[in-house]
Amino acid sequence: GAGVSQSPRYKVAKRGQDVALRCDPISGHVSLFWYQQALGQGPEFLTYFQNEAQLDKSGLPSDRFFAERPEGSVSTLKIQRTQQEDSAVYLCASGVGGSGNTIYFGEGSWLTVV
């Protein structure tokens, strides 16, 4: 597609439920990033893929968070046993790779845990 596509756009989960958030990057983009953005804050880095390899997962807040990109294209961020503090917008971004190139964001998945 023309841009980064994320689904679902909105998700309400009951505390303890598992959720899966999907990201379709721009076609041909090598780099893929997941960020978490709380209301009124800047995005916080979660994890980074180059093709199918997860090169950095230092930002994942706990072992309840898991991300994969098995074929180097679509990525899924999974959150197990959701907690209220997981409520945030989850942004996916992709880029062509290389140190100077910009990354392009999707509109995010808004997660509310009740």
Partner 1 sequence: GQNIDQPTEMTATEGAIVQINCTYQTSGFNGLFWYQQHAGEAPTFLSYNVLDGLEEKGRFSSFLSRSKGYSYLLLKELQMKDSASYLCAVKGAGNMLTFGGGTRLMVKP
User: Would you count residue 4 as binding partner 1 (CB under 8 A)?
Assistant: yes
| φ, ψ (nearest 5 deg) of residue 19 | -130, 155
Quick count: other Cβ atoms within 10 Å of Cβ 90?
Answer: 24
Nearest to partner 1 of 59, 76 (CB atom): 59
In whole angstroms, give the CA distance from residue 114 to residue 87: 9
Which residue matches tokens 């994942």? 60
- 3-class SS at 84? helix
User: Judged by CB under 8 A, does residue 103 bind partner 1?
Assistant: yes
Counting contacts by CB under 8 A, is residue 25 touching partner 1?
Answer: no
Q: Does 65 bind partner 1 (CB under 8 A)?
A: no
> Residue 72 or residue 80: which is nearer to partner 1 going by CB?
72
Sign of CA dihedral 9, 65, 85, 48: negative
Residue nearer to partner 1 on the CB measure, 17 or 87: 87
Q: Which residues bind partner 1 (CB under 8 A)?
A: 4, 31, 33, 35, 40-45, 48, 50, 55-56, 91, 97, 99-100, 102-108
